Chain A
């Protein structure tokens, strides 16, 4: 039963207001590997990230994620975690409430101890009962990691993973990335190669116009 998970994109194309953002984007990444997405501003990194995250439909082509590259019946909401600058928390709620919402809206039970452990890990435990709107931008960025990891997704997608983070935050995120690489698939969209130690596959969007 333990077939390895594979993420694959096939002939992806996105047209936006009659402008082709990119076309002919294909890739494959297996369990335990890192997929790097690079490209200058406006080359469609975030667009591709959203397509892989299933919140945006491609104009053509398809993304598949599952054992041996097949789709499973499981809803993808339980299998994907995303951290990105345009992901927003429900700011009138506290960190812990946000995590509870993330699980219950997925229809999954909320494990308070696990949530506390994650908040500890991203150094937000002391502030766990404060509304997210009172957080600094670096704290919000760390909060997004707790939000993305709570359901232990097989696929973790990071868009500009280090934005707004201080040295401590960068260290936390590096350990998270290392761990995800051994547990599943990691997708990182960035132009700063110092963000990421090692990668297995690269999609360079500068070449796909």
Chain B
């Protein structure tokens, strides 16, 4: 046993250190947080303007909530990788961290961002859009939680691809949409069920799909990340 051997505890410390580095950097620059926040505020304002005094059906409003979240996520979640690429610190990280630790550190960072984004979005959405009613709150909360995990998982690996491709923002939604569509359709359906006041059991199928989606995306990303990350 050597002092420098990679143990699970050491791997975990490495993951957390990468997360903390990104988090502190974010607190200093506020780049992603302000982009996300402004995006959510403007999009909800646009929805309010376009709805005017007309209401929309609960179904349509459930769908629109996730449109806001999807494009909000697309505006901020690539930051964690694109930033490293822009500043040339990808190589620095490659030197000091194993690829998989980088992936999980960035995944954790994006998860925190998405959870924050979703909480703010839901609060604003519920506060300002009057037709949006949730009759089964637990179903809705589980949907938001699982949805956040799913978004963070898919957004992180696609962000790594676009950062390494040096294409910045333009390709991000293009590459993400087909990958995230199963997730989007499922969370929209679950939100619709929650807004109709369906029982928890009725949404269980949606939750199963969400959980398996998260597992599949995290596992495949973990397996492929080294290829994306290493030149």
A–B contact with Cβ pairs below 8 Å: the answer is yes
Query: Would A73 and B24 count as touching, CB distance under 8 A?
Result: no
Interface residue B113 (Cβ < 8 Å from any Cβ of A) = no
With the chains together, A177 CA to B28 CA distance in Å? 36
- Among the stretches B91-99, B118-126, B135-143, B174-182, the one at the interface with A is B91-99
Query: Are A55 and B88 touching (Cβ within 8 A)?
Result: no
* Beta-carbon contact of B97 and A106 below 8 Å: yes
Q: What B residues does A86 contact at CB under 8 A? A: 88, 91
Could you tell me if A79 and B4 are in contact, using CB atoms closer than 8 angstroms? yes
Contact bitstring A82-112, B, C-beta under 8 A = 1, else 0: 1000111111110001000110111110000
Task: Give the secondary structure class of A's interface.
Answer: loop
* B5, B98, B230: the one within 8 Å of A77 (CB): B98
Residues of B within 8 A of A93 (CB): 21, 24-25
- Tell me the smallest distance from the CB of B69 to a CB of chain A, in Å: 28
Q: Which of A79, A87, A88, A105 has the most CB of B within 10 A?
A: A105
A-B contact count (CB 8 A): 85
Asked if B89 contacts A88 (CB within 8 A), the reply is: yes
Instruction: Confirm or deny: A74 has a beta carbon within 8 angstroms of a beta carbon on chain B.
Output: yes
Interface residues of A in 32-90 (CB under 8 A from B): 50, 53, 55-57, 72-75, 77-80, 82, 86-90
Contact: B25 with A107, CB < 8 Å? no
Are B28 and A92 neighbours in the complex by a CB distance under 8 Å? yes
Q: Are A92 and B230 in contact (CB under 8 A)?
A: no
From B13, B89, B91, A90 is in contact (CB under 8 Å) with B89
On whether the beta carbons of A105 and B4 are closer than 8 Å, the reply is no
Which residues of chain A come closer than 8 Å to B29, judged between CB atoms? 92
Contact B87 A91 (CB under 8 A): yes
Contact of A88 among B87, B97, B98, B230 (CB under 8 A): B87
**Assembly CA distance A53 to B91 (angstroms):** 10
* Chain A residues with CB below 8 A from B92, complex form: 87-90
Of A56, A75, A89, A102, the contact of B4 (CB 8 Å cutoff):
A75
Question: B6 to chain A: which residues have CB within 8 Å?
Answer: 73-75, 107
Given known contacts A74-B4, A77-B95, A108-B4, is B13 in contact with A92 (CB within 8 Å)?
no
CA distance A89 to B4 in the complex (A): 23
Nearest-neighbour CB distance to chain B for A22, whole angstroms, equals: 16
* Interface check B200, CB cutoff 8 A: no
Q: Are B25 and A77 in contact (CB under 8 A)?
A: no
Q: Are B97 and A105 in contact (CB under 8 A)?
A: yes
Shortest Cβ gap from A157 to chain B (Å):
10
CB-CB nearest in chain B for A98: B92
Q: Is B107 an interface residue, CB under 8 A from the partner?
A: no
CA distance A3 to B89 in the complex (A): 35
Contact yes or no, A105 B14, CB < 8 A: yes
Which residue among B17, B92, B94 has the maximum number of chain A CB atoms within 10 Å of its CB?
A: B92
Instruction: Output the least CB separation between A110 and chain B (Å).
Output: 9
3 nearest CB pairs, A to B: A107-B10, A104-B17, A107-B14
Show the binding face of B for A, using Cβ within 8 Å. Answer: 2, 4-6, 10-11, 13-14, 17-18, 20-21, 24-25, 28-29, 87-89, 91-98, 101, 230-231
